[in-house]
Structure 1
Amino acid sequence: MKSLKKQRRIQVIAVAAVALVLSTVLIGYAMRDGINFFRAPSQILAEPPEPTEVFRIGGLVEEGSIVRGQGETIRFSVTDGGAVVPVTYTGVLPDLFEENQGMVGTGRYINGVFEAHEILAKHDETYMPAEVVDALKEQGVYKPTDS
């Protein structure tokens, strides 16, 4: 009788272990395309990724680097202060995208150029819509932050 209980416990533990391993493998397989590593321009130039690897680049849009081509193709450079990476993007840029502003792009690094298929514009935590600033100024409450 005792060996039957022991045998059942071992079977339950074995089935649970197999289920855990199988679920971990399935989760990893499902996430393989959804994982995008973030890299700064300095990291990209130090260790260039494979052309097939999709990753995110982040930094500031370099001043004077935005060149609008034919159609919707835009070329610009991204810097982190230590390195500069040229970027091409075909599409409509976000409204907050401009020189000396932060951006994050998703794409591939091919032949020394980051070819983005998605661009996100970033702004700092002190951003406030103009309408809110005007309303606060009218109330005499607005206190500008030192930039």
Structure 2
Amino acid sequence: PDFRKHGAFFTAFVEGWGLYSERLGIEMDLYDTPAKNMGRLSYEMWRACRLVVDTGIHSKGWSKQQAIDFMTDNTALSTANIEAEVNRYISWPGQALAYKMGELKIRELRAKATSELGNKFDLRDFHDVVLGQGAVPLDMLEAQVNRWIETTKAN
């Protein structure tokens, strides 16, 4: 429907799927050299630092310089990247948290489906359910996955 095509952008879902799908690379052995895995870990550290910076600025009252110093000490980003990141989180409170919440919810739903369905669990079907309705709020995603689990169990 049009309201879905032109409506809200659900950061937790969209960015959460991005983070979740990056982890699929681990399962698929895509990070098959130490250098590739180091790159993955570097990005993971960068995202963890985003959470700290977002919280530091908006909850702990950090100055821009404190946030820059934290990212300089804890990431492999360039000075220009760090400044851009800090500016982003100054102007967009909670975005870093939304990313991670989305990833964690999708991982939680996958673990639940895996546990409840046992040998009936199919990863491709799970991904179809997660992506099938497009970007949705996380509570709607959870309801979709729960319905799929119950339907799959019943069959």
What's the TM-score, normalizing by structure 2? Answer: 0.22
Higher share of residues assigned helix? 2
Higher relative contact order (CA 8 A, sep 6+): 2
Higher share of residues assigned strand? 1
Give the structure with higher Rg (CA). Answer: 1
